[in-house]
Structure formats: structure tokens, C-alpha cells
Amino acid sequence: MRQERNNIFENIDWVLVFLFITLVGFGWLNIYAASKTEEDVELLSFSTKYGKQLIFICCTIPLIITILFFNSKFYEKYASIFYIISIFCLLLLFPFGKEINGAKSWFNFGVLGLQPSEFVKAFTALAVAKLLSDRQYNLKLIKNQIKVFIIIFTPAVLITLQPDAGSALIYLTFFFVLNREGLTMSYMIWGSILIFLFILTIFFGYFPVLLVLLAFITITVIYMIYKRGQRFIRFNWYKIVIIYIITILFTFGTNIIYNNVFKRHHRDRFEVLLGLKTDIKNIGYNSHQSELTISSGGWTGKGFLKGDITKGDFVPEQHTDYIFSTVGEEWGFLGSSLVIILFMLMIYRIIYLSETHSNKFGRIYGYSVASILFFHIVVNIGMVIGLLPTVGIPLPFFSYGGSSLWGFTVLLFIFIRLDAHKNYDW
Amino acid sequence: MQRSFLLYFLITIVGCVFIGRLFQLQIIRGANYNPIHNSAVKTTYDYPERGYVYDRNGKLLIANQLSYDVMIQPNQVKPLDTIEFCNLLKINKESFLKRLRKAERWAPYLPSVFLKQLAKKDFAFLQEKLHKYNGFFIQKRIIRKYPINAAANVLGYIGEVNESLAKKNNYYQAGELIGKDGIEREYESYLRGKKGKKYLQRNNLNKVTGSFSNGKYDTLSKNGKDLTLTLDIDLQLFAQKLMSGKRGGIVAIEPSSGEILALVTAPSYDPNMLVGRKRSKNSTILFNDTISRPSYDRGLLAAYAPGSPFKMMNALIGLQENVINEKTSFKCYYGFKYGKRANEFMGCHCNVIGKPIKLKTAIAKSCNSYFSNTYKRIVEKDNNSSEGLDNWHKHVSSFGLGDYLGYDLPAGSKGLIPDGKYYDNRYKYSWNGSTTISNAIGQGEILTTPIQLANFTAAIANRGYFYTPHILKKIDKKTIDNEKFTMAKKTTIDKKHFDPVIEAMHEVFKTGTGKWSQVKGIEICGKTGTAENFTRIEGQKIQLPDHSILVAFAPKENPKIALAIFVENGGYGSTIAAPITSLIIEKYLTGQISKTNKYREQNMLNLSLQDIYEKLKLKPKKIASGTK
């Protein structure tokens, strides 16, 4: 075994660090534009959003050094402890959490609020990596699948109960990881089909969808009988009946769940997106304003601090979830495309690096990081540019908020730490 | 490596979709992006002064005056001395609280009207003390003022633009002022001018933070244009006075230009009623009066059977179609028998029994038999009634009857001139001149409005052509050059045929029904008429007192004025319509009423038909049984 390195920055992937600094820095400029008021206040101050964010950014430096300071083995060894602590934190929220916007997802420490769910992602990724990297572990076994599902969905369920369904949603992204590690594709395929049918049912109403589905199945069955003869029926009749029943139950179920389990505001968000409702004053206001703001940017944007819609505070939550609309307005098509490309490069780079790991733990963790970032970017930017329904999750490194920034910093730099150490045999 | 392909693939796809969407939003949609339609830009308007309106002699008809509205912005209101404030505004405390609540409900951070159109002297007091009341301020508004109480039907009024119009028309915002009737409506685009726009930068709390793009897109307001009307307001006032106590309409036209000299409807109202604080109360009174209908312009809208004046039309067509000439004569025995049965008989009051009657006498004495014969010959000329009537219809239409005349006022009625098809449908192809004989004397299906009759008279006065009647003379002191009004329209009747008819009309005022209304030194040509009118009560056709009708022009040579007058339930034309006509003509041509005719003026001013109208309103059935 080689001697531990003396320099904590040795073998660090500077490409990722560079992308991190660029995104955080550019993100801050946009937060500054979105939250700047006429009175000029000093930059490092708790009285303004941009001042606070600058302090948060400064705080990431000791955080990063601490993360890099520890041996990569430390993270593998104590992954389960981290995970259990984070679950414990989530549980503590129920008695001690502070309620903001109807969800108990914050611990309050005076000036500072911390949102544990932003950190739990990283620790869940560690736990998943630890479990899957076990040499004895085989994802083909149902027993093992259930184990990993429990690890993934425990935090997801706790977060849903806060209730913060948007933040819980991102745990679905671990399916990419599981898939990479050998889980059968059928979960994802069936999941996608169900989501697709769900949307169709909402859009067209359950009855036409049901009719089309039944017709489709019947035609397939007739085709099979024609091709294979009577034997097909004899051996498969129970499967056919089950498929029919599932189809009927699913479409009716969708209808019932959609109308009774979904809250009014969830339904509204869906319906506005699908064009079933046009209400740009209330429900669709955010999306409409955000699209309008982005559209006004043109090729090169209006210039830094010159976005008049941003200045007028017309897009709600513009410094947090809708920060990308500021990019669109002030930096235009070129600026916003660049941000998307930077994010793409970061994810490509993480996957590429993960695949070079000889160590399974590092690879799985890296893949989790890539999937989490991917999911956040898809859901957030998709929402801001009006392609996906409104789900309140932050844009990594960009959105205002200490917890979110630190959560992603921890997520990324643990990977950088693991990656720096990948060539050592440990 | 293979399994990681999925995520690589998805990232690439999503990246492309997102950049594509950004392209769609920012480049394709962004190309149509107009910086001033941005939610961060607040548009404020600078309202120009609305144009003034003058009569043909330069007398001011519509001017502007300032009015002061007390405005409120509820979120800036601080505790105040309510009693003193209420005293200043002359309202009570309940009213104060009600208005305050209303403004708060509307929007606490937006200004809204607290009290409309403050009296001038209240404003002076209030202005000194207003600084004490936070959240209240004064907004000046320009409203209309009518120095002369006349011609409300012509001038119209202005009112606020409602939501639905504001949505349809992108010039107007809800609550702005727009012409609602009369010339205010017809010439809205000239009178309103162009409002100036100022673009201000604002934030989501509607707080203005500065001008937008340093005022690059701002525009200046342009004042409205002043209009000069063809009306002679003195004549209009005089005619309105003569019509007091009566219902009906008078339209006077200058034949040589088509300019409308007077357009009277009675009863009417003071245009100032629809201005100021009492406006809404008054408009309810005016528009809900369904019996005397002061807001209904009878001169333009009232379509009635024209009666005897229409006989000239048949005479002209007869001459043009060569079925009669000046020397043609018919005999009349108390009327005209148009069928074999006893009841197929039209009575006549010409009192020339058994002697041959020629055209001149026929018009002067208003002989029904003569025109029945003429009409029958016109319609049955080629043994095809339908074609004959179509031909007749063509001639009548050339005088502008049976359709909108095309004058420049928003109210109008087509009237009705039947053609062959009309009766084909009605009588299933078995009809002839006799079936439709009422048309000969201007009764039956024919309907005309006073302005159509006046125009018809002007065409006779001009011997065969007319100018479309119009009310606008000048825009900003520049005479209009709209070809619609400056090009003469020819009728289908040759000039030579008018002379005998005009001679006959002259005879009417010399020896006929108008002889008691002569004016010394003025050769008036005219024709009185009586239009029967019926109403249906409980399914029964009931005859009401006749409407009195008269058309006239003067002088005979080089006519200066042509007019039509109709008085509802006014009986024979000679008793009310004729004296009023001669008074108007005398007043217009000589500028005054001569001493010898003063008694006539007095009579007409004193004459009121109100008793008849009251009776009609109460027991129409009984009245009906009492008449012929």
C-alpha cells in the first residue's frame, strides 16, 4: 500500500472543480441580478439575498477542504453511519422542524436555516454505493432488490411526509444507478409506460384511453392466435385475462387517484402544462411569466443587471427555483444554452470518471451523483422553460440557498475525493 | 461501458430538447417580442383635448370643461378627521365608509375614483385642505359642455368605454371616453385626437421606478380636430320650439349641397343632462321613457307611410314612363273603383266631381283617383305586374327611398319600397296594379323616414338630382371633400318632367291645402299629406289619429331649403305641418318672422298635442272607435 498523499489537492479532477466554480460564480451573478434592490448595500451582508449567498459560497471553501481532508476510505467505511444519522435528522424534523410554506423541512438556527433533505441525497448515494459494492451482492435477487429499495425509499417517504413531494421525487433517479449495476430494465420500461399512460389518461379522459388500450390488446391477442393457433390461448389465457383486468384497473385507478389523492394545486399544474387550462393570472402565472421573461432575452440577452422583468420581480421565486429565467433574460439564448452545456459537460465528466474507477464503491457513488444532478436539472429547467409541471426543486449550484448549495457541494466533492484516490489500491 | 450508455444518451437528448426549446422561446418567439408589452412596463396616457363642434355659422355647439374627481389610494390613507372631510365633499359618513370599502375591495394599492365630478366651488375649498388627507388626490378630467340647449339628437354624447369594447379595440382602455351617439360617435376618430403614451418602468408592486428606455418609445398626444356642422343652430332652435308639445320630426336640407340645416326630433332633451354628476340618473329617465322616447331620433328612424307627398313620385314616374303627360286627364266620382266588388273602392276628397282632372289639379287637390289610374298604368304597362312594379321600384329607389341614405349619423332606418318579388311572395303570383293600389297614394306597404322624404323633396327641388344628406361641413376649418357627399346623384327621371310637378306643388301653397300658410314674397312649393296609422290591440286592427306629413321647398326657382316634417297624430297636414313649414322657411330665408305672420308663430308655439297623447296612452281602443 502506498503512503497516503500529503497534499489534499493531489490528483484532484480540476475539470470538475473548474465547472463547479464557473456554475457557482455565474449562479451568484444571477442571484445578484434577481435580488438586487435600488439601495446599494455592501456585498457580504446578511441583509440581502445576494449577500447571504456570497457568505454561503465562502463557507463552501472550509467545507470542501474538510471533505477533501478525509481519506476516501473514510467515506466507504462510515457510509452506513452517515446514512443512519441523516435518517435520524429527517425524523427529528417532525418534532423540531420549522414550518415554511406548509412543509416542515427546516431546522432553524437563528439566522441560518438548514434543510436536511438537501444533504440526505449525498448520504443515501453513499449508502447505496456501499450496499451495491458488496462482493456478495447480486441485484438479480428479489431479496437484494428489496434491501436497496428500502435504503432509497426510506428518506423519500420521510420527505414526502414533511410534505415536500418535489424533493422526494428525485430519489427515483437511483433507478439509473440500479440499472447501471444490473437491475433489469423492465422496472424503468414499465415505469415509463405507466407514466405515459397516466398522462394520456389525464389528457384524453379515462374512457377513450381505456377503449384504445382494450382495442390494442385485443388486436394483439387476435394476431397471436392467428400466428400461433389455438395453443396460444390454451397456455396463455390467464395472462390475457390478467392484462385486461390490470388495464381496466389502471385507467380507473388513475382517474380516482388523480381526482381524489392529488391535491387541487397538483392537478392545476398538470392541467396548465397539458394545455387543458389556461389561467395565466393565478395557477399558470409562474410558468407564463417565466416563459415570457426568457423569451424577452433574444439571442444575447439584455445584459447583466439590465433585465427589466427580473428587476421588476415579476417572476415569483426567481432567485431560487426560477433562477434560470434570469439567465434567459439577461444572457439570452447564448448564455442559457451555455449553462445547459456546462451542466451536460459536468455530468458527462462524472460518468466518464466513474467508469474509470476500478473500485466499485466509487463508480456507483459517481453514477449516483451524475443521476441526481441530471434529475435536478431536467426537472428544474424543464419547469422554468415550461416543458414540465411545476415542481419546486432547486437548480444545482445556481439557486439561492445555503442548504442546497452545500448539499450539492458535499455530493460533488465526496466524488472528487473518491476519484482522486481511485488509482490507489485500497 | 454499455450500461452507462443510457444516461449518456438521455443527457444528450435532454440537452438538445432544452436548447431547442430555448431556441423556440428566445429566437422564434423572441422575434415578436415587443419591449413595451412587457409586464415590467407600465403605460400611462396623456389625454388630448377633444375637438370642439360648431354650427355652420361658427356658433359653438360643443365645448370642453374641466371636472375634478377625488381619487383615493387606500393603502396610503392615514387616519383623518372624517367629519371635516365629509363636510368638504358634502357627503355623509355612511357614504364615506361605503366608498372607502369599495375602493379597498377594488385594489388597496391602486388609485380609484372616490367621488366623481366635484362642483367647482367645492373643489376650490378642498384643494387648500387636501394636503391634510393622505391617500386622497384630485384628478382632472375633461368633460363636454353644450352652450346651446339644442340638437341633442345630432350631437350625441360621450360615455365610458366598457370592458368588452376595450378588448375588441386596442386603442381604448376600459373607462376612457368614447362617442356613444350622434356625431360624437360618427366622428369619434376626428374628435378624440390621439392620446400620447408614456412607458414607465415598474416593479411587481406596481411601483414606478423610472421611465422605460429613457422614453425612447413614448409618443406625444395630438389634440382632436374641431368640426363644423352643416346645422344652422338658430333654425334648429326655432324648429325645436315650434315642435314643443308635439311628437314628430323635421328634416331640413339645402338642396344645392345636401347639407342638413336642421334635424329635429320631438320631444328631445337638453344635451347637458348627460354630463356631470346627474348623468346616470338622467340617462335612466331618458332611455327608459318608452312612450315619448326622447332618445329616439324620429327624423332619422321613424318609418311611416308617406301618404300624399308620394303622389309626386307616381306622377314623375308616369311622365317618365310616358303613360301620362301633362294633358292626360281622368275623371273622379268621389273615388276610384279598382275592383268589381262594392268594397273595392278608394275614396277621394278632391271635390272635383265628374270633370276631367289634369296633373296640376290632381296634385294640388290631391286626387286619389288620378294617381290610382296612373299607378295602374305604370304597373300594368307591359301586362306583367311584377316587371312593371320592378321598374317602378327602380325609379323610386333612385331617389334614395327604401334604403339607408348613407348620411353621416349613426341612426337610420331603411324604410320599405316593395318590388315585384315582395308581392310575388305575398300573393303567390296572382296580383296586379289593383291589388297594390294603395302604393298609388303612398299608403299600403310603403314606409319612408322624414330624412328620406326631405331628400326626395330636395331631388325634386333640384329637378332630378340630389346630394347625399350630410351633417359635417368642415374638419378643422377645411371643407370636406368626401366624394360621397360632394358628388351629385342622378335620379332616373328626366329634368323636363319635374316642371309640371313643381308647378303643381306651387299650386298647393297658392290655392290648395297649403294656402292658409303662404308667406308673402316667398314661392313655397309643397305637398301636404296624411298618413293613416294603425295599431293592433288584442288582435284587432285599430285606427289611430292620422299622422300629419308635409314636404316642401322654397323658393321655387333656385331653391335654398327643402324639408320634410311629420307630426305624430297631428291630423290633416294643413293644420299643423303646413304652418310650421312656412314658419321655418320664412325664418331661414328672411332670418325672421314678419309681423303679419307672428300670430302663426304664436299659434304653433301654444299648440300642444299632449292631450291626445295622454288619451292614446290610456284608452287607445275607445279613441279608435271614435275616428272614421
Looking at residue A146, its amino acid is: I
Q: Which residues pair with B552 in a beta bridge?
A: B526, B563
- Positive or negative, the Cα torsion across B27, B30, B32, B35? negative
Contacts with A, B 506-565, CB within 8 Å: none
Q: Helix or strand or coil: residue B150?
A: coil
Q: What pLDDT shows up at residue B252?
A: 94
- Tell me the longest C-alpha to C-alpha distance in chain A: 82
User: Could you read off the pLDDT of B56-70 as tens digits, one per residue?
Assistant: 999 999 998 888 888
Domain boundary among B118, B143, B168: B143
Please work out, in degrees rounded to the nearest 5, the angle formed at the alpha carbon of residue B319 by the alpha carbons of B316 and B322: 145
> A181 contacts in B (CB within 8 Å)?
3
B35 lies in a domain?
A: no
The stretch A264-283 carries a mean pLDDT of 67
Do B417 and B349 belong together in one domain?
A: yes
B19 lies in a domain?
A: no
Q: pLDDT band at B626, cuts 50/70/90?
A: very low
B21 lies in a domain?
A: no
> B212 contacts in A (CB within 8 Å)?
308
Q: B534 or B295: which carries more pLDDT confidence?
A: B295
Instruction: Provide the domain count of chain B.
Output: 3
Looking at residue A403, its amino acid is: S
* Range from A4-8, A178-182, B560-564 carrying the lowest mean pLDDT: A4-8
Q: Is the pLDDT of residue B429 over 60?
A: yes
Cell of B163: 370592458
Q: Is the pLDDT of residue B99 over 60?
A: yes
The stretch A261-270 carries a mean pLDDT of 73
Contacts with A, B 84-113, CB within 8 Å: none
Do B516 and B598 belong together in one domain?
A: yes
Q: Does B14 touch chain A (CB under 8 A)?
A: yes
Tell me what the pLDDT averaged over chain A comes to. 85
CB contact (8 A) between residue B14 and residue A309: no
> Cβ–Cβ contacts within 10 Å for residue B270, how many?
13
User: Could you read off the pLDDT of A298-339 as tens digits, one per residue?
Assistant: 888 888 887 777 776 777 778 888 899 999 999 999 999 999
Do B319 and B363 belong together in one domain?
A: yes
Distance from CA of B101 to the nearest CA of A (A): 24
- Yes or no: say if B290 and B422 are a contact pair by the CB < 8 Å rule: no
**This prediction's pTM:** 0.64
Q: What pLDDT shows up at residue B498?
A: 92
User: d(Cα B282, Cα B294) in Å, to the nearest integer?
Assistant: 12
If you ran DSSP here, which 8-state letter would residue A289 be given? H
Distance from CA of B210 to the nearest CA of A (A): 11
* Range from A273-287, B410-424, B446-460 carrying the lowest mean pLDDT: A273-287
Q: Is the pLDDT of residue B473 over 60?
A: yes
CA–CA distance from B543 to each of B344, B444, B535, B567 (Å)? 19, 14, 6, 16
Domain boundary among B143, B177, B196: B143
- Positive or negative, the Cα torsion across B395, B396, B398, B402? negative
B12 lies in a domain?
A: no
CB contact (8 A) between residue B25 and residue A313: no
User: Could you read off the pLDDT of B247-266 as tens digits, one per residue?
Assistant: 889 999 999 999 999 999 98
How many Å separate Cα A115 from the centre of its chain?
15
B209 lies in a domain?
A: yes
Domain boundary among B127, B143, B159: B143
CA–CA distance from B127 to each of B24, B83, B143, B471 (Å)? 55, 17, 20, 42
Nearest to B26 among A180, A298, A341 (CB): A298
- Positive or negative, the Cα torsion across B584, B589, B590, B594? negative
Q: Is the pLDDT of residue B501 over 50?
A: yes
The stretch A159-182 carries a mean pLDDT of 87
User: d(Cα B181, Cα B186) in Å, to the nearest integer?
Assistant: 7
Which candidate, B245, B367, B298, places its Cα nearest to that of B566? Answer: B298
The stretch B75-83 carries a mean pLDDT of 80
User: d(Cα B240, Cα A338) in Å, to the nearest integer?
Assistant: 78
Q: pLDDT band at B525, cuts 50/70/90?
A: very high
Q: What pLDDT shows up at residue B625?
A: 37
Q: Which domain holds residue B210?
A: 42-59+148-229
What is the complex's ipTM, to 2 decimals? 0.88
Q: Percentage of chain A with pLDDT > 90?
A: 36
Do B92 and B194 belong together in one domain?
A: no
Per-residue DSSP letters for A309-350? HHHTT-STTTTTTTHHHHHHHHHHHHHHHHHHHHHHHHHHHH
Distance from CA of A293 to the nearest CA of B (A): 9
- Cβ-based burial of B388 (10 A; exposed 0-12, middle 13-18, buried ≥19): buried
User: Could you read off the pLDDT of A28-79 as tens digits, one per residue?
Assistant: 999 998 887 766 666 777 778 888 899 999 999 999 999 998 888 899 899 9
Looking at residue B535, its amino acid is: T
Distance from CA of A145 to the nearest CA of B (A): 18
User: d(Cα A384, Cα A399) in Å, to the nearest integer?
Assistant: 12
Q: A386 or B573: which carries more pLDDT confidence?
A: A386
The stretch B573-583 carries a mean pLDDT of 84
Distance from CA of A351 to the nearest CA of B (A): 8
Q: What CATH number did the domain enclosing B393 receive? A: 3.40.710.10
Cell of A131: 450496499
User: Could you read off the pLDDT of A332-341 as tens digits, one per residue?
Assistant: 999 999 999 9
* Range from A153-167, A273-287, B210-224, B490-504 carrying the lowest mean pLDDT: A273-287
Q: Is the pLDDT of residue B35 over 70?
A: no
Do B199 and B335 belong together in one domain?
A: no
Q: Helix or strand or coil: residue A182?
A: coil
Cell of A152: 432509497
Q: Does B9 touch chain A (CB under 8 A)?
A: no
Do B177 and B84 belong together in one domain?
A: no
Q: Percentage of chain B with pLDDT > 70?
A: 93
Alpha-helix runs per DSSP H in B112-231: 120-129, 152-155, 163-168, 182-186, 188-192
User: d(Cα A373, Cα A198) in Å, to the nearest integer?
Assistant: 25
Do B103 and B176 belong together in one domain?
A: no
CB contact (8 A) between residue B22 and residue A294: yes
Do B269 and B322 belong together in one domain?
A: yes
Q: What pLDDT shows up at residue B351?
A: 77
User: Do the bridges between strand B196-202 and strand B41-46 make them parallel or antiparallel, or are there none, so unpaired?
Assistant: antiparallel
> By CA distance, what is B12's nearest residue in A?
A344
- Residue A56: partners with Cβ closer than 8 Å, 6 or more residues away: A401, A402, A405, A406
Q: What pLDDT shows up at residue A102?
A: 75
Q: Which residue out of A339, A344, A350 would a mutagenesis test of the B interface target, given it has the greatest number of B Cβ atoms within 10 Å?
A: A344
- Cβ-based burial of B510 (10 A; exposed 0-12, middle 13-18, buried ≥19): middle
- Yes or no: say if A118 and A407 are a contact pair by the CB < 8 Å rule: yes
Do B219 and B282 belong together in one domain?
A: no
Do B501 and B587 belong together in one domain?
A: yes
User: d(Cα B279, Cα B267) in Å, to the nearest integer?
Assistant: 19
Q: Is the pLDDT of residue B623 over 60?
A: no
B13 lies in a domain?
A: no
Do B192 and B288 belong together in one domain?
A: no
Q: What pLDDT shows up at residue B628?
A: 32
Do B202 and B78 belong together in one domain?
A: no
